[in-house]
Amino acid sequence: MKQNYGVSKWPDIEEINAKMDKLLKADMLHIKADAKARYMDYFDTKCQRSKEIITEARQFIPGGVQHNLAFNYPFPLAVDRAEGAYLYDVDGNRYVDYLQAGGPTLLGSNYKAVTDKVIEVIQKHGAVTGLFHEYELKLAKIINECMPWVEQYRCFGSGTEACMAAIRVARTFTGKKKVIKMGGAYHGWSDQLVYSLHIPYTKTFEAHGIPKECVANTTECAPGDIDSLRKVLEENEKDGGTACFILEAFGPESGTRMMPFDYCAQARELCDEFDTLLIFDEVVTAFRIGPGGAAGFLGVKPDLTVMGKIVSGGFPMAGGVGGRADIMSCMAAGVQSGKQRAYVGGTLTANPLSCAAGYYAIKEIVEQDAARKAGENADKLCAGLQALIDKYELPFVVWNTGSIIHFEVSGVMYLSVQDPEIVTKITERKKSMEEFGAALTANGVITLAGSRMYTSMADNDETVAETLTAFEEVFSNVER
């Protein structure tokens, strides 16, 4: 496919859906009791320092960790350092790392050329100034070179903030209030977007502490179904119209629910027809898919693009919104605030540290052709995993879009809200996924909660072989 992009082929969606149907109908598979006992023993004997730290942390930090990604079964590991393709915990155990900080470290963790530059910048300029720094311009310019449709760029502190700002500016620009998101997608934890997370049409299932009124203007369409989008746009017309449609261009949850290749092109046309802004949430896909992100790969120009983690190369303060200059200029700060200005901000949102980190990380990603290399590593790993699934005749499903690998042992996000037993099934299937995650960890491989895996440029034939050995050990211990 496209040069400098990591996606070598678009997955066969019908095949994935058929396999997921089968997985959901099949009996849940578990790991044999003796193997499970061995894996748990690994945590008890080889991760003692982690256990001590996390036990104490539970007293001072809710649940012991600060972010869901770190909440791993049977207990979270305390990590000492991340280096290239590996993570090392405080007990000195080494793991092949497919969490990659939740996606941003496409170059591999602690990539020296970027880290050295960041240290130099902090020593020379200080981490923050509170005022404008030239690295803010350098970052905006390099993003624009990679994604010419991002004519102007505003920094924020996280993907959540960036999604909030994108929606606010869309409403300011269009004068409309309704927002459409795709069912099952995660766009951060803001009041308006904690709606139908993970499983479509679950609406306010997870919106505890959020009054109903906050999501009164949030509407939802079915993943990958263009007719559903049209229907919601038409419905919203009766109540003032839709300000924006926000989606991950490869589908919800980094493409856990894959979409037809031409979905985004069709969504672009529909948004134009209804005078609705198209927002791509590229928190995971920007640069990881290739220099132009998912939009560049698909050849579809969004009006606004949301960025996260990777836009500061995994360093703190990771988020931003960019897009058409006429829309972006509706943001207050820099342009006079007041009427027709969306009030957004944040004291430390732009600073020399994160802007320099982002600038040098993006520069390296492009110069090193990181998206293509990471994608090739994922292709090899995915092919190996499929061969193991076939060898052990397991119902598990694996596919990848470039360096994003989906590995489903339970299919929890494919459950239907119409299933009367959905609540029980979510608990059971989540538990099974966590068990597999723990089994892989005990065998030296870290995944995102036992399902997704992000490869990086730092992977190689050795890490792929090491990973396949770990998977084979676990697969050979599945109870039949």
Ligand X SMILES: Cc1ncc(COP(=O)(O)O)c(C=O)c1O
User: Which residue ranges make up the site for ligand X (CB under 6 A)?
Assistant: 102, 158-160, 163, 186-188, 248, 281, 283-284, 308-309, 318-319
The first and second tokens of residue 233, run together, are 């746009």
Least Å from the CB of residue 155 to ligand X: 13
The first and second tokens of residue 462, run together, are 């050795």
Least Å from the CB of residue 160 to ligand X: 3
Q: Which residue is nearest to ligand X (CB)?
A: 159
Choice between 407 and 475, CB closer to ligand X:
407
Choice between 76 and 293, CB closer to ligand X:
293
Least Å from the CB of residue 139 to ligand X: 16
Nearest 5°: phi and psi at 109? Answer: -70, 150
The first and second tokens of residue 192, run together, are 């308006």
H helix intervals, 351-480: 352-367, 370-391, 422-442, 461-475
Choice between 198 and 425, CB closer to ligand X:
198
User: DSSP letters along 30-77, please?
Assistant: -B-HHHHHHHHHHHHHH-HHHHHHHHHHHHHSGGG-SSGGG--SSSPP
Choice between 16 and 283, CB closer to ligand X:
283
Contact indicator for 285, 254 with CB cutoff of 8 Å: yes
Choice between 157 and 395, CB closer to ligand X:
157
Instruction: Please give the C-alpha separations between residue 200 and each of 88, 149, 441, in angstroms, as whole numbers.
Output: 36, 30, 30
Least Å from the CB of residue 249 to ligand X: 10
Choice between 140 and 311, CB closer to ligand X:
311
Choice between 404 and 426, CB closer to ligand X:
404
> How far apart, in Å, do the first and last CA atoms of the chain sit?
40
Least Å from the CB of residue 101 to ligand X: 10
Contact indicator for 406, 397 with CB cutoff of 8 Å: yes
Least Å from the CB of residue 480 to ligand X: 35
Least Å from the CB of residue 278 to ligand X: 15
Beta-carbon contacts of 116 under 8 Å, excluding residues fewer than 6 positions away, are none
